[in-house]
Amino acid sequence: MSVLIIQGKHCGFPKYSGEQNTVNNGEYMIKTENLTKEYNEKNAVDNLNLEVGDGEVFGFLGPNGAGKSTTILMLTGMIEPTSGICTIDGVNVALNPLKGKEILGYLPEDVGFYRNLTGYENLDYLGKFYPIEKNEREERIERLLKSVRLNGVTQKVGEYSRGMNQRLGLALALLNDPKVVILDEPTANLDPEGVLRYREIIKELEQEGKTVLICSHILSEVRAVCTTLGIISQGRLVAKGSVEEVEDELIRQSGTRQKIVIKSINPDLYTEVESIKNPDILEIERTKDGIEISVEKDIRPILAEKLKNHCSGITEMYLDRPGLEDLFLKVYRRE
């Protein structure tokens, strides 16, 4: 998806109807209700119900063609839903895209800028579309360019590397000091130093209480910065929760076993664990230096508590399960 923010060809905002267009969302900053987008009689997004709370850093994941970009285009008011609604901080963005733009900062996958202007000139020109005083705008531009390490760069954007272009895109997404930030593949073109700085910026946004939705295929990156994750597949939300909860769900969907491995010289360990009645324990196996417990979810704190008085011979206890990337591949390779 290649988008020029504000003036690009994809900015075909639906007209503001003047209807009542805010709803009470409780604490949700991003909310979709039965959000559907149909293309060629097929639902790219299919009755999607998504809720992202105030201050969450939410990772929005899914295999190719799952409907992520289509969802983001609806959240940013760039395309209209076929049915259902989406709100940002209670604002129905399809009915009031201009209000939505005040609340929202958006970094598209390929952000387009004016090639014959510098980074500063681009931000200054595009920043004039926001209701920000000149002095405030200039101060923010200086600060944001410094934040993305582009301060003092006098090159025209046409001479920027892809990474520099993406960093400028992040600065633009934050220019209106948005409550909600949507980032589409924000690290795709960044070098390792750029990725580190990006992570710091996300931490800063989190500390400022912003709500951030990050769409990325780089799962290790998502895992590093996101407090919650959601997985969309065939236009529907199939898992949502903390990273651990989503991993648990993928383990379930993939039929993978996760194990708690306990190393111990204590011969009574097997019997001790067998006596613990916990529905998340599926199977216990003896190994040459301890036991392996197949579990529904990570119950190490419970085991540690139950075993603390009995099994002084425990030398090691760890969870053995595939990471998010492996699980994702297992579940979605067939799609």
Ligand X SMILES: Nc1ncnc2c1ncn2[C@@H]1O[C@H](COP(=O)(O)OP(=O)(O)OP(=O)(O)O)[C@@H](O)[C@H]1O
CA–CA distance, 75 with 67 (Å, rounded to integer): 12
Residue 183 to residues 13, 28, 176, 320: CA-CA distances in angstroms? 19, 18, 15, 32
Q: Which amino acid is at 79?
A: I
- Considering the complex, state which of residue 65 and residue 323 has its C-beta at the smaller distance from ligand X: 65
CA–CA distance, 213 with 60 (Å, rounded to integer): 7
**Taking a C-beta distance cutoff of 8 angstroms, is the pair 303, 323 a contact?**
no
Specify the stretch interacting with ligand X by CB under 6 A; choose among 62-70, 113-121, 254-262, 307-315.
62-70
CA–CA distance, 245 with 251 (Å, rounded to integer): 10
- Considering the complex, state which of residue 61 and residue 314 has its C-beta at the smaller distance from ligand X: 61
Q: Applying CB under 6 A, does 62 fall inside the site for ligand X?
A: yes
- Per-residue string for binding with ligand X, 69-88, x by CB under 6 A? xx------------------
Cα dihedral sign for 269, 274, 276, 281? positive
CA–CA distance, 87 with 29 (Å, rounded to integer): 8
CA–CA distance, 96 with 181 (Å, rounded to integer): 17
Q: Applying CB under 6 A, does 183 fall inside the site for ligand X?
A: no
Specify the stretch interacting with ligand X by CB under 6 A; choose among 27-35, 65-73, 144-152, 319-327.
65-73
- Per-residue string for binding with ligand X, 7-46, x by CB under 6 A? --------------------------------xx---x--
| Number of chain residues interacting with ligand X (CB under 6 A) | 11
- Considering the complex, state which of residue 40 and residue 154 has its C-beta at the smaller distance from ligand X: 40
Task: Provide the terminal-to-terminal Cα distance of the chain, rounded to the nearest Å.
Answer: 21
Specify the stretch interacting with ligand X by CB under 6 A; choose among 8-16, 61-69, 82-90, 124-132.
61-69
Which one of 18, 24, 26, 64 is in contact with ligand X (CB under 6 A)?
Answer: 64
Specify the stretch interacting with ligand X by CB under 6 A; choose among 6-14, 63-71, 149-157, 197-205.
63-71
Q: Which two tokens stand for residue 280?
A: 């998340």
Which one of 31, 68, 210, 321 is in contact with ligand X (CB under 6 A)?
Answer: 68
Specify the stretch interacting with ligand X by CB under 6 A; choose among 57-65, 114-122, 279-287, 309-317.
57-65
DSSP reduced 3-state for 93: coil
Q: Applying CB under 6 A, does 129 fall inside the site for ligand X?
A: no
Q: Which amino acid is at 170?
A: L
Q: Which two tokens stand for residue 168?
A: 């400028």
CA–CA distance, 4 with 321 (Å, rounded to integer): 42
Q: C-beta of 49: minimal distance to ligand X in Å?
A: 17
Core vs surface per residue 116-132: b (16+ CB within 10 A) or e: ebbbbebbbebbeebeb
Specify the stretch interacting with ligand X by CB under 6 A; choose among 2-10, 27-35, 64-72, 121-129.
64-72
Q: C-beta of 246: minimal distance to ligand X in Å?
A: 17
Q: Applying CB under 6 A, does 66 fall inside the site for ligand X?
A: yes
Binding residues vs ligand X (CB under 6 A): 39-40, 44, 62, 64-70
